[in-house]
Amino acid sequence: MRKNDRKAILDALEEIPFIDRACRKIGIHRSTFYRWQESDPEFRKKTNKALALGRESLCELAESMLVKKIKDGETNAIKFCLQNNSPIYTPKRTVFVLPEKKDTYSPEKGCDTCGLKPLSKEVGDKLRKNIEVFFGKAVPEKEYDPTDELGV
């Protein structure tokens, strides 16, 4: 019976290139199919070939349905066909690449790129204390640059 089941699943995959549906059609569980595929390299090759034939058949069906819709004058079908088969009708895409700017933050000047204002001494002191608590180490009273602590 196993040989017949294997032949039946190959036939079903050529007709329906979806493993789950083909297995249901012939009455076997998917795990059985995958076990056969894993244990038998020849069956795996035949399976891949059957799936490829099934997908090819499905694509031919879809193309014939598309042609029918084009003949019926359906705008979306016409547009789809033209955009995917002729460079003249392919939508143009413009990509803008912005030059990379390095943020130059300094506590005295702020940041030229993003417009961040300079820190006041009072805010710098509060920030320094918060960083001391968070990181558990003292921050020197030097010119304070918060980006040093953040690894930016």
Domain limits, the chain: 2-85, 105-146
pTM exceeds 0.95 for this model:
no
Number of H helices, E strands in the chain: 7, 2
C-alpha radius of gyration, the chain, whole number: 33
Question: What per-residue confidence (pLDDT) applies to 90?
Answer: 84
What are the residue ranges in the chain where pLDDT is below 70? 1-2, 99, 101-108, 138-152
User: 100 by DSSP, 3-state: which?
Assistant: coil
Whether residue 37 contacts residue 43, with contact meaning beta carbons closer than 8 Å, is answered with yes
